[in-house]
């Protein structure tokens, strides 16, 4: 029976067989495009999650392989765009330490600070994350307010709340010294 038809029916065993068949090929595909095995593995997982979600909409006009690789390609493009956006944020003229002075308290390196901030930013509500991102990129509160058609006071509130959230997310227990 056709793999696409079986997959469209929601057959989990068929999906498992498809996973076993395509996982090594996709892992190689993503490994060639990323420098990190863990990232490649995550992208493979995302591809299969997306495949499962759209399995009922798969086309009979194209092979399953073609459709899986289309999903993989868009998954990689999404990842690449997100990484480039994050890079732009952290390469912006405003120093992270100027905007987030409490990052210096942990005694971590600049790279660790950026990683910690990236993770913490992703935990903020969408609008707040965008406001903070624009602020880091050097936009004024007035420019941000105009971009989102909100008041300057609302922008300030978002930034204040973001600082509180980020401070709590970035706080790490400090190791205690033995006496």
| Tens digits of residue pLDDT in 121-131 | 888 888 888 88
What's the mean pLDDT when you consider all of the chain? 78
The CA radius of gyration of the chain, in Å to the nearest whole number, is 22
> Does this chain's domain 3-80 share its CATH topology with 96-170?
no
> Is 139 a residue whose pLDDT tops 60?
yes
Which pLDDT score, from 0 to 100, does residue 24 have?
96
CATH 1.10.1740.10 assigned to 3-80: yes
Contact (Cβ atoms closer than 8 angstroms) between residue 23 and residue 68: no
Q: State the DSSP H helix or E strand holding residue 129, giving kind and residue range, or none if neither.
A: helix 126-136
pLDDT at 176 over 50: no
The answer to whether the beta carbons of residues 162 and 96 sit under 8 Å apart is no
What are the angstrom distances between the C-alpha of 116 and each of 20, 113, 148, 172? Answer: 34, 5, 27, 10
* 96-170 under CATH 3.10.580, yes or no: no
Each residue's pLDDT tens digit, 140-172? 888 888 888 889 999 999 988 988 888 787 774
Q: Which pLDDT value is given to residue 98?
A: 60
List the chain domain ranges.
Answer: 3-80, 96-170
Share of the chain above pLDDT 70, in %: 77
**Over residues 72-94, mean pLDDT:** 70
């Amino acid at each position: 029976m056709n793999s696409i038809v079986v997959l469209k029916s929601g057959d989990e065993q068929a999906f498992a067989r498809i996973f076993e068949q395509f996982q090594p090929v996709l892992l190689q595909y993503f490994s060639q495009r990323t420098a990190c095995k863990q990232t490649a593995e995550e992208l493979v997982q995302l591809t299969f999650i997306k495949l499962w979600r759209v399995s009922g909409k798969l086309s009979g006009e194209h092979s399953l392989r073609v459709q899986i690789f289309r999903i993989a390609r868009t998954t990689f493009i999404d990842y690449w765009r997100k990484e480039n956006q994050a890079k732009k944020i952290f390469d912006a003229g405003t120093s992270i330490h100027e905007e987030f002075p409490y990052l210096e308290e942990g005694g971590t390196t600049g790279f660790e600070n950026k990683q910690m901030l990236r993770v913490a930013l992703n935990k903020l509500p969408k609008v707040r994350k965008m406001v903070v991102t624009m602020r880091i990129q050097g936009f004024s509160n007035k420019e941000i307010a105009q971009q989102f058609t909100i008041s300057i006071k609302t922008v300030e509130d978002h930034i204040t709340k973001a600082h509180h959230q980020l401070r709590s997310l970035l706080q790490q227990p400090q190791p205690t010294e033995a006496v």
